Chains A and B, each alone.
Chain A
Amino acid sequence: DADVTQTPRNRITKTGKRIMLECSQTKGHDRMYWYRQDPGLGLRLIYYSFDVKDINKGEISDGYSVSRQAQAKFSLSLESAIPNQTALYFCATSEGGGAGPQHFGDGTRLSIL
């Protein structure tokens, strides 16, 4: 089983819909992150969380919100999806203290029509 699990793996939806992407981990890591990846732009940080009570905005947080329901769960929401949010979304985790690498989930491919 994957250590970092993202659901759904693929989603097609319409403009204006509310969407939630979920991430769960069995690595016991304190830190969790959400990135989006677009062709030619690389990975960009949306939100990150150091523990259940800590939520921080990343480089491109506008239009997104997150919830850290438990140490193992970190969800990303698009309240009213728009076409330029079409992208590949990755969740990642790392140990507390941040010294080690980040470990990525398999990604969610989101298409907004």
Chain B
Amino acid sequence: GQNIDQPTEMTATEGAIVQINCTYQTSGFNGLFWYQQHAGEAPTFLSYNVLDGLEEKGRFSSFLSRSKGYSYLLLKELQMKDSASYLCAVRDSSGYALNFGKGTSLLVTP
């Protein structure tokens, strides 16, 4: 099975940097995804890591350490519109579906 943990809530200030952590224990590993979800809306894909290291995409970066079962999502130059839930999801070695964490609700304040 899969066990995916991420903080429930975080608060950060507009313009700042925030790091959202995700730890996982899985029966096999075939990639880790980060999604953004605004309240009542669909999750939207942010990033994908399958190898160790940092993936950068504009203001958003994601890091993976497979040996530690650990990932983080880094958001720079925070904007008010970044207030949302951030979902960590792991695909196991079967490769068919994603197992989601419960999400981290991020509030960006002025």
Q: Does B78 contact A (CB under 8 A)?
A: no
Minimum CB distance partner of B34 in chain A: A101
A104 within 8 A of B: yes
Cα A106 to Cα B91 in complex, Å, equals 22
Interface contact A103-B41, CB-CB below 8 Å? no
**A43 in contact with B43 (CB, 8 Å):** yes
Minimum distance in angstroms from A46 CB to a CB of chain B:
10
Q: Which residues of A contact B44 (CB under 8 A)?
A: 104
Closest chain B CB from A31 CB (angstroms): 8
**Interchain CB contact under 8 A, B102 and A56:** no
CB-based nearest A residue for B91: A98
Chain A interface mostly: strand
A48, CB-defined interface residue at 8 Å:
yes
Residues of A close to B100: CB separation below 8 A: 42-44
Whether A98 touches B45, Cβ cut-off 8 Å, given contacts A42-B101, A42-B103, is no
B→A interface (CB under 8 Å) = 31, 33, 40-45, 48, 87, 89, 91, 95-103
Q: Chain A interface (Cβ within 8 Å of chain B)? A: 31, 33, 40-45, 48, 50, 56, 58, 88, 90, 98-107, 109
Q: List 9 A-B contacts (CB under 8 A).
A: A42-B100, A43-B98, A45-B97, A90-B43, A98-B91, A102-B33, A102-B45, A104-B42, A106-B41
